[in-house]
Structure 1
């Protein structure tokens, strides 16, 4: 074992020297970037302005706007911001009702038409404009309820929202429940609508064209390898490339047994991993972004090494605030909650039946869900460890909670997936296959669901809203062990999965085309996970007792 680990360290050192050499050879062309900077001067200035305002340097940002004669927000966007800050909901709706599609060309417009277009807000699409209007209407509805103007709230709900927007039943129920709240405190506790005007503005900015407003954190995301819709090339453009390139940036060697699971914390600063010997390692991750190019160098160190009370943890789950980790195993009914700061187990949840197949935290952080093959599904309150609700009668093999937090897709009996409504406590058939399913995974957007067929060795991607299956992904070997797939990229445009042949396969989501095969592990790869902040970074856990961290790059400079 020591010899093998030593050889891995030597291999890693050689790789680092090669990387340093390659980096040195590419560092001599700095002056070639100057024409690009001149051509994109306005874009880079607006990115800097956004960052200055985000960091609170308003005076510096104002001075830059004056000197560069560049505005962060257009006049139309400023007008919308004023309407939101003054709670002039009807004024905001009038502006959004005349919004233009940013994708529609304007080269053939007359001068008067161009002046009219300048007064319009340009959204990413007309659907985005409709979504923004719905956000404002929901906030208008909430505002009337806070002011105890029930008649006006009902009028907004019945006359402005329901006739013009095709809401899901759960969305209608969410709005209707607010009518029963007696005071502002109850409304704040129940409402899922953006409460503060600043939150509402941030949501609408994401729907607006980058020509109107640079989204919050855009420069930071660019530095970390993501893509903005104003033409900056980065990791989320993976899905448009014919091939991907990958580099193993780290090999983590703390475990001394098969590594069963790993999960990144939501804030991207930590990673938890578990092995067959009952060990759980909490890793501190450090990412350094080069100032000259989008290049991420990763350093990791073990922060805590924990020990499960019973058996091995083959399932890990982070709390939404990245402060706690849940661990559970198929050989134990105990779910342990570990405190990141102290490394101590501060609570245990005792599942009603033996063997926990899967556990996840709900997005609200107040509840968690656990399921067992012994026909029990339990919704827990995290504050006191009590059971909020329990379902029975079906074997729970795996599940995936929708990012909205109100529904969950549950794998039943190996061939059937049912959709559970956590609010109404009801369920219905969502998908029934002809072949055995080993596990499922949902995209971060909640639009796609991966279904792993173990017998046929293929992975299917189901578009949730239309319930249509995209081209299947073939190549990974899975006959004896469960290998968990995931989505990669800012737009979830890549599907990846480990394999029993010790390789990692990556496919284009929409075409099923194999774009990369990664080699390095020497045994079964149990799971691959995508970093939540750096979408071009993945980590893999293997029976060879190691974790590998990979950086993916496209065939284009960015």
Structure 2
């Protein structure tokens, strides 16, 4: 069925006063006001004086173009924009002075028929439609017409599909009234003859047998009848030529494109505020965190991971030296040093409220620490090293990933009623890393055999899996839960859609082949992708265009992980095998920055890369 979960929902679920199309209504196109009578509010934010659409008589004193743009298109988009912003008098005045109207009479009548549930009239207008401006129309005896009959459809529009959507809406409205006999008649006599989608028809048929209280959930139908008709109209609009029915909020959409284009062209755009429309936008490179303000050398062995708290006031680092260090980020004084681990610490992650921290260790345990007291609150056990963890958005449960096939993914509860209970378990693969999307809808897992798995977080049912050409080493998800970033052992970093797994963009240049290298999203609006590298460099790409904008000398040896400060867009941190954490900032004058020559090289003999995280995590023996 056509999903009805888009758009703004209206609180009322009532049906009163809305026709279901059982009677034929004479629609006078000349009296239609954008599909509404003068006393009705409009569905597109449009005022009551519009008859919409064709050119009456363009002014002969004005050029047909405006700075190279079609004058009619610009004017009609401005008229729509004025109505959107609530300036109906100005929109009416512009329409009157320019002699351009927003939509054609046929479009206005079609809009009104859909919103009033006059399905016979709506179908008549649709059936009289044609592709292209030079097509012929057919007369409709039940309309009094003062303009062209029918609609002008967009190229490639499927009239049968549009009819199916309209008849499906009629079917669902009868179902909402619990008039099952009429709903069945529409299904048999109107929907089935279209031969549109047998599987979809079966799904609609199953709704007839649903209890009244369950069918809406199964049909994914929310809101009122008026609300669902608006969404139907939005879908139908995509098949109607924009020359006669401008897409909703077109001016706002164009302005968003302008802003996004400026952001994409600004390689160092690092602010959550969108650029102004008054002037062209370009950020200064000097405002980007390119200089090291501080080196932290508090660990005695390789630093494998680090992460800022969500408020940016703390930084947690995990090391091969079996410790986790918590710094406050104003002076980078140590707040805690967690030393209860029996083996090397591979990963840390903050709870949503920053009150707790999970540490993952090669002693087959994950520990939950209380930040205020420094006490270990919970310890959970796996049979193999714990490779990663992720908090549920409510902070009351978390997921751990481990390199075992039987219980590679486990969800643990922190609620007092089922404290430390394993709520869900998934196996069948050795989990390399995991991430719960910030909206709490999905769990993303990568395994040690080149696979990515996406699960429904509520049910732990798998939504899809996909295979890559190289092993995956880490996964992270954007704050809006739309995209995810995965590192591959062949040196690629891929940006994917979370919902579908479709590849959006590939970032290349960094070196990775033997070790675990972790990347992250960076910037105030997550405009960047950053990654460490085996060549001791830090790589920074622009997320939207894939351009490598910086290659920074990071550490004396391999750079394992990068973390951006959510509370300070001008700061990020890096962790390396040189046992150090470097804090990068845009507020340090170049003369005061830590130069590369001041870093003391550490002999490779003093630490080796033969640690278990390298051999086990990157393809040790199967368990």
Global fold match (TM > 0.5):
yes
Kept in 1, the 8 Å contact 2:528–2:542? The answer is yes
The CA deviation at 1:440 is 2.0
Report whether the alignment pairs 1:522 with 2:566: no
3-state SS of paired residue (1:521) = coil
Q: Based on CA coordinates, which of the two structures has the bigger radius of gyration?
A: 2
Q: Distance in 2 between matches of 1:471 and 1:247?
A: 28
TM-score by length of 1: 0.58
C-alpha change, 1:232 and 1:334, in structure 2 (3 Å) is farther
Of 571, 574, 596, 1:537 maps to 571
Give the equivalent residue in structure 1 for 2:480. 445
Equivalent residue number for residue 45 of structure 2: 98
Is the Cα–Cα contact under 8 Å of residues 243 and 516 in structure 1 kept in the other structure?
no
Q: Quick one: structure 1 residues 497 and 110, their matched pair in 2 at CA, closer, same or farther if it must change by over 3 Å?
A: closer
Match of 2:404 among 350, 356, 374: 374
Secondary structure of 1:226's match? coil
The answer for the alignment partner of 1:359 in structure 2 is: 389
Deviations along 1:325-349, whole A, 9 cap, x unmatched?
A: 11111x2222111111111112222
- The answer to whether structure 1 residue 500 and structure 2 residue 548 are counterparts is no
Q: Secondary structure at the match of 2:434?
A: strand
Query: For residues 313-462 of structure 1, what are the structure 2 equivalents within 5 Å?
Result: 313-329=345-361, 331-351=362-382, 353-375=383-405, 376=407, 377-383=409-415, 384-454=419-489, 456-462=490-496
C-alpha change, 1:313 and 1:492, in structure 2 (3 Å) is same
Distance 1:232 1:163, change over 3 A: closer
Distance 1:303 1:99 in 2: 59
Distance verdict in 2 for CA 1:113–1:539, change over 3 Å = closer
What's the Cα RMSD here?
4.2
Alpha-carbon deviation of 1:468? 3.3
Give the secondary-structure state (helix, strand or coil) at the position aligned to 2:225.
helix
Q: 1:159 to 1:264 in 2, by over 3 A?
A: same
User: Matches of 1:417 and 1:161 in 2, distance apart?
Assistant: 38
Q: Distance in 2 between matches of 1:512 and 1:543?
A: 27
CA apart distance, 1:252: 1.6
Structure 1 CA distance for aligned equivalents of residues 461 and 77 of structure 2: 56
The answer to whether structure 1 residue 262 and structure 2 residue 306 are counterparts is yes
User: Alpha-carbon deviation of 1:389?
Assistant: 1.5
* 1:311 matched to 2:343: yes
Answer 1 or 2: which has greater helix percent: 1
Structure 1 residue 311: Cα displacement: 0.8
The answer to whether residue 329 in structure 2 is matched with residue 285 in structure 1 is: yes
1:463: how far off?
3.0
Answer yes or no: is 1:229 the counterpart of 2:295: no
CA separation of 1:498 and 1:118: change in aligned 2, threshold 3 A: closer
Is 1:486 aligned with 2:531?
Answer: no
For 2:304 and 2:368, how far apart are their aligned partners in 1? Answer: 18
Instruction: State whether residues 210 and 229 of structure 1, in contact with CA within 8 Å, keep that contact through their aligned partners in structure 2.
Output: no
Supply the distance in 1 between the matched residues of 2:491 and 2:222 (Cα, whole angstroms): 52
Asked if the contact 1:338–1:347 (Cα under 8 Å) also holds between the matched residues in 2, the reply is yes
CA distance in 2, matches of 1:241, 1:514: 14
Contact 1:526 1:542 in 2 (8 A): yes
Q: Alpha-carbon deviations, 1:373-397, whole Å to 9, x = none?
A: 1121111111211111212222211
Pick closer, same or farther for the CA change 1:496–1:111 going to 2, 3 Å: closer
Distance in 1, matches of 2:325 and 2:77, equals 64
Query: 1:501 offset after TM fit, Å?
Result: 1.4
Q: Does 1:119 align with 2:164?
A: no
The yes-or-no answer on 1:159 pairing with 2:225 is yes
- TM-score, length of structure 2 as denominator length: 0.52
Q: Does the CA contact (< 8 Å) of 2:536 and 2:556 recur in 1? A: yes
C-alpha separation in 2, matches of 1:509 and 1:257: 32
Deviations 1:500-550 (A, max 9, x none): 111101112233321101114111111001112223421101111111111
Cα 1:208–1:490 change in 2 (3 A) is: farther
* Mapped partners of 1:310, 1:272: distance in 2: 18
Q: Which of the two has greater strand per residue?
A: 1
Which structure 1 residue ranges, 5 or more long, are not aligned? 1-83, 122-149, 167-206, 212-223, 287-298, 554-558
CA contact (8 A) 2:410 2:424 kept: yes
Distance in structure 1 (CA, Å) of the matches to 2:532 and 2:275: 34
Distance apart, 1:363 and its partner CA: 1.2
CA distance in 1, matches of 2:567, 2:384: 36
Match of 2:332 in 1: 300
